[in-house]
Structure 1
Amino acid sequence: MRGTAFLFMITAIVFVLLGMAWGIEMSVRADFKMTPAHAHLNLIGFVIGAVFALYFVVTPQADGGLAKALYALWAVTTVLMVVGIYMAVSQQGEGLAKIASLLGVLTMLMFGWIVLKNGIGRTEA
């Protein structure tokens, strides 16, 4: 695994390790009110990141400038989503969660464009 695929997978692993540690911490305290933020860290951070990583492994011709922009947008979106949901659950406002949700849609639209442009799988040379 090389290039953007590697960046996606390493970052996804960091996100899921943080999510797992957070889940354990919530369990120790028996306080699960931040479960929505924790779940989004695992889902958007790990699952989506790992899917993107595997796509770029299977479709290496798609790895380029747009893939790197997708990586940056996904990583920023993940962090803003988790912080935004944390703020919303703790009654500090929902604005950041709303913005992050829109960025999440933009992330998936960008990924969709990459898939439409490059297909899935290696192209024959």
Structure 2
Amino acid sequence: MAISLEHITFDCANATELATFWGGLLDRPVDEGASEYFATVGRSSGAHPVLMFIAVPDKNPGKNTVHIDLVSAEWTDEIARAVSLGAKHIADYDEFGTKWATLSDPEGNLFDIGCGL
């Protein structure tokens, strides 16, 4: 039996707002039925993994956090686009032959956009 990645789940304050950010960044629509409590991106289009956003009253200290790495040949343009959608550009890196930028989404979750060839 094989295991496969089904969802990447974000605990958040407002599911629709965070789903709208990530859907915009990945150029995928927020699925129908989204509310401030629950939203998904990718389910209706058959994309995998599906991004799932669940409102929680308090983020649990010590709970695992998710770090998403994205890649694009036009990485500087994508960084600017992410910022225009509400991301904060934290820092740029050039190490071990790889270039990437670390950003945070509107709720402070970190993610990277790397330079793809």
Q: Which has the higher contact order (CA 8 A, sep 6+)?
A: 1
Whichever of the two has the greater Rg, that structure is 1
More helix by percentage: 1
Normalized against structure 1, the TM-score is what?
A: 0.26
TM-score (normalizing by structure 2): 0.27
